[in-house]
């Protein structure tokens, strides 16, 4: 579960501004960044690593919420496969929705940063679905005329999240969850 939270956080970092354009001179850039967000979200939700690669800079770094550093596509693919294709993983699928807190701030014409949240819904091996809120920060660069993700850092509130709440449940509460008499922490119907 912890690893699946991380990949969804990565996705959150890939997402960019959804708000209306504030500065007209950067309107086209913000539109391009929104398109990048949409492509990255679709790629992650589909598990399409080829499409995801098209969203990333030639050199990139992802720091996951458990502090795993990913710097190449073979590493990203192995990470993804370990979360969703490994029989021992408690997670079988994920769907993320990304929201930016701010419009991308441009530090130079070809460099910007953005931050926001993602709501990630994980399908567990037992078919239950759990929602997790994450925060992300990303650095974007314009490479060969197109915006790409250069750096992404993901975070989860380690004091308030469904995984921690499930671990803190009493054995009676855990039994109730196992017997489907009560919901898991963070459980949703989607």
Q: What is the CATH number of the domain that holds 30?
A: 3.10.450.50
pLDDT over threshold 50, residue 9: no
Q: pLDDT per residue over 77-119, tens digit each?
A: 999 999 888 888 888 888 999 999 999 999 999 999 999 999 9
Whether 171 is in a domain gets the answer no
Domain residue limits at 51? 2-157
Note whether residue 181 is domain-resident: no
Q: What is the mean pLDDT of residues 168-179?
A: 66
pTM over 0.85: no
Contact yes or no for 141/150 (Cβ under 8 A): yes
Domain count, the chain: 1
Helix 2-14 × helix 27-46 angle, to 10°: 150
| Helix ranges (DSSP H) in 47-144 | 49-53, 73-84
∠ CA 62-160-69, rounded to 5°? 15
As a whole number, the mean pLDDT across the chain is 81
Report if residue 176 sits inside a domain.
Answer: no
Q: What is the pLDDT of residue 26?
A: 79
CA-CA-CA-CA torsion sign (142, 56, 14, 133): negative
Contact 63, 71 (CB under 8 A): no
Q: 7: buried, middle or exposed (CB in 10 Å: 19+, 13-18, 0-12)? A: buried
Within a domain: 90? yes
Nearest 5°: phi and psi at 139? Answer: -110, 135
Window from 6-20, 55-69, 126-140 with minimum mean pLDDT? 6-20
What pLDDT digit, counting tens, does each position of 15-47 carry? 433 333 334 457 899 999 999 999 999 999 999
Do the domain assignments include residue 183? no
């Amino acid at each position: 579960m912890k690893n699946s939270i991380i990949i969804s956080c990565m996705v959150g970092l890939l997402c960019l501004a959804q708000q209306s354009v504030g500065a007209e001179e950067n309107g086209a850039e913000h539109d391009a960044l929104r398109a990048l967000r949409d492509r990255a979200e679709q790629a992650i939700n589909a598990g399409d690593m080829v499409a995801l690669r098209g969203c990333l800079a030639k050199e990139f770094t992802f720091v996951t919420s458990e502090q795993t550093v990913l710097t190449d596509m073979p590493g990203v693919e192995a990470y993804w496969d370990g979360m969703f294709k490994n029989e021992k993983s408690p997670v079988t699928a994920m769907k993320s929705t990304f929201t930016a807190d701010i419009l991308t701030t441009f530090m130079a014409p070809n460099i910007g940063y953005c931050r926001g949240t993602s709501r990630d819904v994980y399908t567990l091996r037992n078919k239950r679905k759990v929602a997790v809120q994450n925060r992300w920060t990303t650095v974007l660069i314009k490479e060969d005329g197109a915006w790409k993700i250069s750096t992404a850092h993901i975070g989860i509130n380690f004091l308030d999240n469904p995984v921690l709440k499930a671990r803190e449940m009493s054995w009676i509460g855990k039994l109730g969850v196992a017997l489907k008499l009560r919901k898991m922490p963070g459980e949703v119907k989607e």
